Amino acid sequence: MRWKGRRVSSNIEDRRGGGAGRKMGGFSILGLVVAFVAWKFFGVDPQQAYQVTQQVTQQASVSTETKGLDNPTPEQQEAMDFVGTVLADTEDTWNVVFQQQLNQQYTAPKLVMFTGAVNSGCGAAQAAMGPFYCPVDQKVYIDTTFFKDMRQQMGIGGEQNQTELTRQDQAGDFAQAYVVAHEVGHHVQNLLGISDQVHKARTQTSKVEANQLSVRQELQADCLAGIWAYHNQQRTQFLQQGDIEEAMDAAHKIGDDYLQKQSTGQVVPDSFTHGSSQQRMKWFQAGLKSGNLKDCDTFKQPI
């Protein structure tokens, strides 16, 4: 993936300060299967994720992080540049899509980079939750060490580079960009009123039906990430050989069926909240193929 040399977004809040925040007490990935943790990493409803975090964190506390890194390492700076560039690409894409396809003005989200733990408009959150979007404050939250976890724990994008972020043109960067684009997809849903509609509908139905609505919402965010990739390719020619395969590998390994099989050996479709591997790959490709919002209506089309 070619990403260096393009505009870096100014909508970044760097809260990776030394000692500015502390990890929530008592939480450890020990005792959680890697696949289960990975499931929480992608597109999870922040309110649901917060509840899960509370269940495994006894009397957790976190201080607000307000200070960025004073002397970032080259890897930390590259993480900032990479995320900022991808965020800028989403801004440029959705500005055009909103104007041309909706005749509306796009309002970009802020993206918060943090270390360990953070306070968000949706409550306190841990790095173990992974990247998430909070509709309350319209911000995307990312601990960039997650990208290393993608490679080490999930085997997405290769494991040859153990820094915070892969270097330019190395395997894994497009899979990481897909993560950012998926979370921005949730922001697009929020702007269009889809998130509110889903939330209201989920409170008025059974747990199984609520899960199905969540699946459709997550699959739509995958499709919106595909729209970003389509338009960004048209504008910048940023894709390289193997990039799409990286995204497909990521989508495959975060499917509910794959993760449940890895963690418990069983697959329970009624408990899906994000969609199967096949569904996630299908809907990302749908957005990537057309670049059109009308092709991402997962609520009216068979999934």
Q: Considering the domain boundaries, does residue 3 fall inside one?
A: no
Residue 269: per-residue pLDDT: 60
Q: Which domain holds residue 73?
A: 12-296
- Contact (Cβ atoms closer than 8 angstroms) between residue 10 and residue 240: no
The answer to the question of residue 217 being in a domain is: yes
CA separation for the pair 121, 32 (Å, rounded): 26
Between these two residues, 178 and 52, which has the higher pLDDT value?
178
> Over the stretch 132-152, which tens digit does the pLDDT of each residue have?
999 999 999 998 777 777 666
In a domain, 106, yes or no: yes
Residue 111 has pLDDT above 90, yes or no: yes
Residue 7 lies in a domain: no
Residue at 302 is within a domain: no
E-strand spans in the chain? 12-15, 110-114, 117-120, 123-126, 132-134, 139-142
Residue 89 lies in a domain: yes
Establish if 5 belongs to a structural domain. no
Distance CA 89, CA 86 (A): 5
Q: What is the mean pLDDT of residues 265-276?
A: 63
Q: What is the pLDDT of residues 57-85, one digit of tens each?
A: 333 334 344 456 667 788 888 888 999 99
Residue 296 is predicted with a pLDDT of 97
User: Would the pLDDT of 180 be above 80?
Assistant: yes
What pTM, to 2 d.p., does this model score? 0.77
Task: Give the model confidence (pLDDT) of 30-63 as tens digits.
Answer: 233 333 344 444 444 444 444 444 443 333 334 3
2-30 pLDDT, tens digit per residue, is: 899 899 999 999 998 743 333 333 322 32
Q: Is 134 part of any domain?
A: yes
Domain count, the chain: 1
Report whether 280 contacts 220 (CB < 8 A).
no
